Structure 1
Amino acid sequence: MEDVVLRTVGQHACNNSAANVFTQRLITGIKRRAEETMDTPAAIRTRILQQVPTPILGNLPSKNAMKKVFIHYFVRMLTNYTGRPLWN
């Protein structure tokens, strides 16, 4: 592809602030760590968020929303990406 827009549905309304970019990097890091390690969600969240500035913390999803992300990645890892559990 050569970056050709085939169809434009609507205006892009995301705020491209530095805080949002940093927040997205943190969320990606949390997802990656959830996928690569068997740490608990609390341990991963604590490790990632240790030195994060306060304005960034306000942009992060709630604990419950992040738990759903962890559950998604843990289930994906336990099913070995095939949809079948490893224990069967």
Structure 2
Amino acid sequence: MSEYPLAVIAIRQVEKRTGASRNALEQTAALRELGYRVVILAERGAPDIVRSVGAELVRLHRWPLQGTFSAILVQSPCPRVVSPSSACLADQPWRCGNR
């Protein structure tokens, strides 16, 4: 077990020093100054860039199904709590939901 607290940053890719990657790297540097051990979770990343700010890179695998099929597959088991056609009034909460 490490004596330093752990901070985890999840980002899709850390390959350049622009945009969200730069943001994640700046946060990493700030967390390291506060004494955190930083791990970056990413689908794609350049290990040399991540090591340059003192973090560890853990590569994640992508969800194999993409697009409409994955959206249907993931969302279909989830029932809607409130249907879009139901009347949901703040002063009458009993009218919200499916009956």
TM-score for both structures, normalised by structure 1: 0.31
Greater share of residues in strand: 2
Greater share of residues in helix: 1
Bigger CA radius of gyration? 2
Higher relative contact order (CA 8 A, sep 6+): 1
